[in-house]
Structure 1
Amino acid sequence: MINQWVIFAVYVLTFLIGLPANLLAICTFIKKLGDKPSPNDILLFHLTTSDLVFLLFLPFKMYEAFMGMKWHLPQTLCSIASFFFFTTIYTSSLLLMAIAVDRYLGLAFPFKYRMLRKPIYATVGCVFIWLVSAAHCSIVFIIVHMPDQNTNGSVCYEEFTEEQKRILLPVRLEFFVVIYTLPLLVCVFCYINCINILYSRPHIVKVKKQRAIGMALCTLTIFLLCFLPYNLSHLVGYSSNKSPPWRYYTLLPSTLNTCLDPFVFYFSSSTFRESKTVSLLKTWCFKRHKRNYTKTETELNVVAI
């Protein structure tokens, strides 16, 4: 049994947290793009854009959950919403891989890579990533609008005929291998080497090393916590020749990546860390922590007296 209210609650929570955080990030990166942006800024801008597109189409999934996992809107709208919903998930994974590669090359080959590290190349790479994700997820339109499509119009991209599954399930397996597992392995390789390089150079400050570890942990958390369950459903679906009934729930962690990506922005971008809003939040948290610490210390002194 699918608990629609659990799904609805997670979607609403993701929307309320992810939207303001990513609006803050995109405003910060838009300002930076007008003032000599680095390739890292361009990659992060596109990652933020991907998150915002995802969040803009998330209300359709909220509506679906609120209506008991039924779809009462036109099937064409189902196709469009599903296309952008899934495209942005895989765009995020590929952009996280590109950010990891950029950081690794910058550390491993600092002089050679600096000569090739130009914003135009990052822009071309981002456009290529969007095209790859969109081309893969266009399977949504192919499946939903096949001549022998499933006549059950009360659900959105969930129940399929045998002919549809003959096409869809192998494509989902390819998703699991090519645009999930491969980016994950690339990220693991890049960040392990980044941390090794940083700790092999004693002149590098401790804060920079800690940020590299934070960046690696955030990225791997997103891949393993957010993206892995949904992509595992592709593998299970291919082996069992049907979509697993728990697939609805695997989409829930995938939505949470929009809430975790701002941590990636924080660890990887000085532009985001030094933005006024982030600085105010850090100041407020520090003052609150200091006030609580002082209060606790005072209470202990009173007890001691």
Structure 2
Amino acid sequence: MKTQWVILAVYILTLLIGFPANLLAICTFFKKLGNKPSPNDILLFNLTASDLVFLLFLPFKMYEAATGMEWHLSQTLCSIVTYFFFTTIYTSSLLHMPIAIDRYLGVVFPLKYRLTRKPLYAAAGCVIIWLVSAAHCSIVFITVHMPDLNATLPKNVCYTHFTEQQKKILLPVRFEFFVVIYLLPLLVCIFCYINCIYILYTRPRITKERKQRAIGMALCTLTIFLLCFLPYNLSHLVGFSSNDSPWWRYYTLLPSTLNTCLDPFVFYFSSSTFRESKTVSLLKKWCFTHKKTKKSDTELVIVAK
């Protein structure tokens, strides 16, 4: 099987799983926004909105894969698709950081933080994160439309080949992406979740269910950072050190797309609003009933033997 069909298959799988899951999530959080939303609800609403914007532009990347990794549309559209594609990836990466901080402060300072915890602060934080991601990813327009009289790049590709002049600007900016928009949120999340788990397990009155949710939240977030975001951001580090964009960089985007399929697990572990939604409750009930029926059938087979 050609590489392009593997890429297309991953994109299709991501769209089929990620779109309905995030659509369910955004409908759930949108309803909560009109009825005393918590800061966590606002952060998760923005996270799922980022995922949905990403998924809406994913068909263009599917088209690119289906045409043999060539781009037969306009370069302006290429810039727009690439801009939103990367902006939403980095917005998701940054949004995991305040979600972890909110969880950490709620565990370490439960009473004091409850008094100062306001939805307005979360909304302001989300606006700042969207602006930071959008400003950083504007490098896409600067790079693609940079005038270069000596450029001999092919016109049937989208944001994959760069001149030496473009690399001088692009590679240092990518390195800054790695440090500020990937490494910093990752370290903050690791610090917050490790301390959350430690504190919860040293308090005997905390329920087992809450401890399990904390572990699930930590594992999901770290999986997203290490499995989905690390390969692509690692290509920034390699490109900066070698002064060239690595040939395998495009393939590291594939794990990044799976982020939209894993984020709903973060919603489940971190939000009672999402856990208690009617659709999720029906899915849990169906899974439990199916599991119970399967177990009963197995027991009948054993008895019959």
Give the TM-score normalised by the residue count of structure 2: 0.98
Which residues of structure 1 form unaligned runs of 5+?
none
Which of 249, 265, 269 pairs up with 1:267? 269
AA matched with 2:229: F
Aligned to 1:163: 165
Aligned to 1:114: 114
Measured after TM superposition, the shift of residue 125 of structure 1 is 0.2
Number of corresponding residues: 303
Query: How much is the aligned-residue C-alpha RMSD, in angstroms?
Result: 1.1
Aligned to 1:233: 235
Aligned to 1:47: 47
- 1:246 matches 2:248: yes
Give a deviation string over 1:246-271, Cα, whole Å, max 9, x none. Answer: 11210000000000000000000000
Whether the aligned pair in 2 keeps the contact of 1:233 and 1:244 (CA below 8 Å) is yes
Whether the aligned pair in 2 keeps the contact of 1:150 and 1:160 (CA below 8 Å) is no
Which residues in structure 2 correspond to 1:102-251 (within 5 Å)? Answer: 102-148=102-148, 151-251=153-253
AA matched with 1:31: K
Whether the aligned pair in 1 keeps the contact of 2:10 and 2:254 (CA below 8 Å) is yes
Indicate the percent of aligned positions where both proteins have the same amino acid: 78
Task: Tell me which moved more, 14-23 or 238-247.
Answer: 238-247
Which residues of structure 2 form unaligned runs of 5+?
none
Q: Distance in 1 between matches of 2:99 and 2:23?
A: 20
Aligned to 1:90: 90
Aligned to 1:100: 100
Q: Distance in 2 between matches of 1:302 and 1:270?
A: 43
Task: Tell me which moved more, 283-292 or 148-157.
Answer: 148-157
- 1:63 matches 2:63: yes
Give a deviation string over 1:154-182, Cα, whole Å, max 9, x none. Answer: 11001000000000001001111110001
Aligned to 1:292: 294
Measured after TM superposition, the shift of residue 107 of structure 1 is 1.0
AA matched with 1:178: V
Task: Tell me which moved more, 56-65 or 103-112.
Answer: 103-112
Aligned to 1:35: 35
Measured after TM superposition, the shift of residue 302 of structure 1 is 1.0
Give the TM-score normalised by the residue count of structure 1: 0.98
AA matched with 2:237: L
Report SS of the residue matched to 1:152.
coil
